[in-house]
Structure 1
Amino acid sequence: MAFLEILVILIFLFFLVFHYKPHSLKSFIDGIWHPLGMLPEVLTNVQRIHDYLAAKLDRSSGTFLLKGPWFSNMDMLFTTDPLDIQHLLSKNFASYPKGQKFREILDFFGDGVLNVDGYLWEIHRKTIMSFLRQPNFQSVFEAIIWNKVERGLLPVLESISKTGMEIDLQDIFQRFTFDTTSNLLLDYDPQSLSVDFPCLPCEKSMSNIEEGILYRHLVPPTYLKLQRLLKIGNEKKLSEDYTVVDHFVQKCLARIQNESSEHVKEKLGFVTSLIKEFKNESGSLGELNKFLRDAIVNLMVAGKDSNSTTLSWFFYLIAKNPIVEDKIREEIHTFLDVKVDDKKLNSKELGKLDYLHGALCEALRLYPPVPFNHKTPLHAEILPSGSQISKNTEIILYFYGMGRMEKIWGEDCMEFKPERWILKQGGIKHEPSYKFPAFNSGPRTCLGKDISFTQLKIVASTIIYHYHIELMEGHPVFPKASMVLQMKHGLKVRLKKISELNI
């Protein structure tokens, strides 16, 4: 059966690519019956997979079953129904683990917090919470962010603005968050954000891995096994990128473990917190280096990509809505003018910027950095949406589609409206996490939500205070096919200094 599966897929793909021109693909797919399910349709829409799935869900009232090839066990139920989300992530959390299949797809994350269930997940989460609750955590975290703003972000933006050249803001934000996350977790600043834009293989490999993992969701498992066996295609590239990331992390871990205990005590020491927890468990967590590697990789990806992706889409939306930009700048001048100029904002002061907070929430609503989640039920049941599921049904909670559903957000769901998040009497309007799951929901709600908003507000307010952002005309901006909602071609812009404009 495995051989027949591979043969059918290869013959089909060869026929599809070499026999049909792009304009005739749809008629070919729509005009024949085939045992490949929706695989041909998915493959022909793979470059805009997120918008394709969102449109499919909209036409299907928020829930649909994606049929895979007969022989592949790839059927997946997609849902954007808030009651389904609440049911899966909160009310019946214990009945919907990640599942072994998805752990295999996401093998890069190993046994880290993003990829495990049960007791091991509880250990990781407890360690993270303990780290975040250290008395000096907030002050150290904010110092790391501001140091990178002053010594990395602003010098780079100043250098670029003087030349009048275009710049890829997505690349800037990825470098910024890679440096700050590495500094926080590993006490090491790679200094990838500097005026000479050094090449840092680890940062690029992480982005490659996220794209490669989404590909794994879209093709039959046996085809991936063939690639692995022959060391070709997506699986070969993933293996190479895994090696690059592991080398970076292991090198940092070795340095930390070799440091003197006196030096370690002066630091926040996330790695030392992990080592302590490992020793408390008396070897039940497996091998130390693997435990450390998995924990660090999970949090590096979460910290680096969530915030860089949010900032990229935020400034894309700001550039397309200059009125919003003006309102945010006015709010900054009203509440924080002197402080911003002196670069000494803290989370409490940033909390005064309600309109900025609303704009960031809108960016997260329309472009959640993690566009989907997945669950596998332990038993058959009927979901609140009416969808019948059997044991081991693969369920995709499609957050990207939720922000585009009129029945959830109203007829203006595609509009960028920070006012959506502002109460009439002032203050931030709260939306339940099962309606707005940008930070997940239920027991797995992101522990870094508050520090994420702090970092986002520091970077956003600093840039808007100093610069006006102009999109490069004709530059295509849309999500790439990846498990993180990065922009396919980056965000090409020009910077205009506010001090040089009549604003």
Structure 2
Amino acid sequence: MSTLFSQELLISTFAIIIVPLYMLYLRSSRSKNPSVLPINWPIVGVFPYLIANFHNLHDYLAVVLAGSGHNFRAHGPPGTGLRFFITCEPANVRHIFTTNHANFPKGAEFAAIFDIAGGSFFTTEGEPWRRQRARAQRVLSNPRLLACMTACCRDKVENGLPPVLMHMASTGTTFDLQDLTTRLVFDMTATPLFGVDPGLLSSDMPPMDAAVAMDTVMEVALFRHIVPTSGWKVMRRLNIGPERKLAAAHTVLRGFIEEMMERRKRKEHAGNEGAPSVDILSSYIDDPDYQQNDGLLHATLINYMIAGRDTIGTALTWVFYNLAQNPHVVSFIRHELSPIASRKAATGANNSSTMVIFEPEETKSLVYMRAAIHESLRLHPPVPIERKTAVAHDVMPSGHVVHAGDTLLISLHSMGRMEGVWGKDCREYNTDRWLSEDGKKLRYVPSHKFLSFSSGPRLCLGKDVSFMQMNTIVAAMVWNFDVEVVEGQRVQPKMSCVLQMKNGLMVKLKKREM
């Protein structure tokens, strides 16, 4: 056994023996003082707290950060390299993401955590990242590709959703809305990416092996974030625990990509001399750098899948949940949609016989609906935590010192729940906070305060496409159906790097009478 492996095993074994003893003490302390903040204990640091609260980590961090003034320093057992600076302070976020962003890359550990996307612009830094980002920007600004993505969204909403939704409404069937939005957004992401439709949103509702594998990647990634690197690497070498599950997920995702590329190839051959494919893959597959490196091509394609499917699919489920809890917001959105629906009815512009479908261009300027989506993203950001690494010593605007090698965790989930950032009603769903006094315009909120699409040089390239898709889907659902969340279910976040619902969202639909 190698010396390095022996050290990793020793540290992991040590943590396994010591941590449970501390957890027993924590349970006793919590019963006496439930609001106690984590203590950086000798030897084990805050590691026992992270493990004890892993099932509810995002809400736990919000409590800790609220009680410690938006910032908290933590460390793990010696030799693990776990030195955290956890923050949700907007001034610090601006410093990390914009003012001094060169000092705060994602870092080598981030790349190791998301090794399935290794080498892509999701994990790279410096010149490789700049080249790849510039390329992605050219790809995503291609008018033909944008038209393809818009058409794909429109087709799914007009032809894919109605049969499923009308069946559920007519039969009064209870169903998982998160499952439905996952299928919808998976198809909407993969079709422009590969040039072929995976067909997950169909009448027979086929297995979602690739989507489940992506969920696994994000769940295990959160585990890797808070466990010593040596610990999860030992598990990976021994192929046990979460790492065993992750290895299987990697195999499924690589198989899915190969299948989609093969289907695209067959489609091209069947099309003979037709127009060239308009898809994201076409922009990479003929490039020598990607032809000679299948791993980089696969990582880049997975990068695009994560950017589209994980964020939008996750966001939509929370949007519909929040709307169901706030019927007055639904009424305002319908009022905003009413003139468009009337024009469509008068001109016979709607092609669907069962649902009123709104064109992406028609929903682009709807202020109130955008405010409703923004407010849901504030409370339930699809990516609840961002991770950075300090290259050199620095002083935060809050006055905290970070040292070279420190890991910085930025809690977006916590930021939306801070009174000092959003006011005393920070935990309430309030669309008015996004509207001007006359309600006709959106208020400007800087990205370092509303971080759902990142900030600074890494600002999300697909933001406009994301809102186009969400607007189109939300408009169709809200106008045509009443959504009722089934009572008695426990709605809580899954412990993952994306804020999916742990148990899904069971709902019933009722078709509106026009």
The reply on whether 1:275 has 2:280 as its aligned counterpart is: no
The reply on whether 1:39 has 2:47 as its aligned counterpart is: yes
The DSSP-based 3-state class of the residue aligned with 1:270 is coil
Query: Who is 2:137 aligned against?
Result: 129
Question: 1:236-247 counterparts in 2 under 5 A?
Answer: 236-247=244-255
Question: 1:418-437 counterparts in 2 under 5 A?
Answer: 418-425=431-438, 426-437=440-451
Question: 1:327-366 counterparts in 2 under 5 A?
Answer: 327-339=332-344, 341-342=350-351, 345-366=358-379
Query: Who is 1:60 aligned against?
Result: 68
Query: Who is 2:406 aligned against?
Result: 393
Q: Are the counterparts in 1 of residues 154 and 360 from structure 2 also a CA contact under 8 Å? A: no
Query: Who is 2:91 aligned against?
Result: 83
Query: Who is 1:465 aligned against?
Result: 479
TM-score, scaled to structure 2:
0.90
Query: Who is 2:8 aligned against?
Result: 2
Q: Are the counterparts in 2 of residues 159 and 195 from structure 1 also a CA contact under 8 Å? A: no
RMSD across aligned positions (CA): 2.4
TM-score, scaled to structure 1:
0.92
Q: Are the counterparts in 1 of residues 412 and 452 from structure 2 also a CA contact under 8 Å? A: yes
The reply on whether 1:117 has 2:125 as its aligned counterpart is: yes
Q: How far off is 1:23 after superposition?
A: 6.3
Match of 1:303 among 287, 302, 308: 308
Question: 1:46-445 counterparts in 2 under 5 A?
Answer: 46-256=54-264, 259=268, 265-276=275-286, 278-279=287-288, 283=289, 287-339=292-344, 341-342=350-351, 345-425=358-438, 426-445=440-459
Q: C-alpha distance in 1, partners of 2:233/2:39?
A: 31
Q: C-alpha distance in 1, partners of 2:395/2:480?
A: 53
Q: Are the counterparts in 1 of residues 145 and 280 from structure 2 also a CA contact under 8 Å? A: no
Amino acid in structure 1 at the alignment position of 2:455: S
Aligned-residue sequence identity (percent) comes to 34
Q: Are the counterparts in 2 of residues 112 and 295 from structure 1 also a CA contact under 8 Å? A: yes
Q: C-alpha distance in 2, partners of 1:330/1:22?
A: 52
Q: C-alpha distance in 1, partners of 2:410/2:201?
A: 34
The DSSP-based 3-state class of the residue aligned with 1:149 is helix
Distance 1:337 1:453, change over 3 A: farther
* Residues 442-488 of structure 1 deviation map (CA, whole Å, 9 limit, x = unaligned): 11100100010010011001001111111111100111110001011
Number of residue pairs the alignment of both structures matches: 493
Q: C-alpha distance in 2, partners of 1:137/1:267?
A: 10
Q: Are the counterparts in 2 of residues 144 and 183 from structure 1 also a CA contact under 8 Å? A: yes
Q: How far off is 1:200 after superposition?
A: 2.2
Distance 1:57 1:337, change over 3 A: farther
Query: Who is 1:447 aligned against?
Result: 461
* Residues 113-135 of structure 1 deviation map (CA, whole Å, 9 limit, x = unaligned): 21111222122222222122222
* Residues 293-322 of structure 1 deviation map (CA, whole Å, 9 limit, x = unaligned): 111100101100111111111111111111
Amino acid in structure 2 at the alignment position of 1:482: S
Q: Are the counterparts in 1 of residues 40 and 75 from structure 2 also a CA contact under 8 Å? A: no
Q: Structure 1 stretch 206-215 or stretch 159-168: which is displaced more?
A: 159-168
Amino acid in structure 2 at the alignment position of 1:125: R
Give ranges in structure 2 of 5+ residues lacking alignment: 1-6
Q: How far off is 1:379 after superposition?
A: 1.0
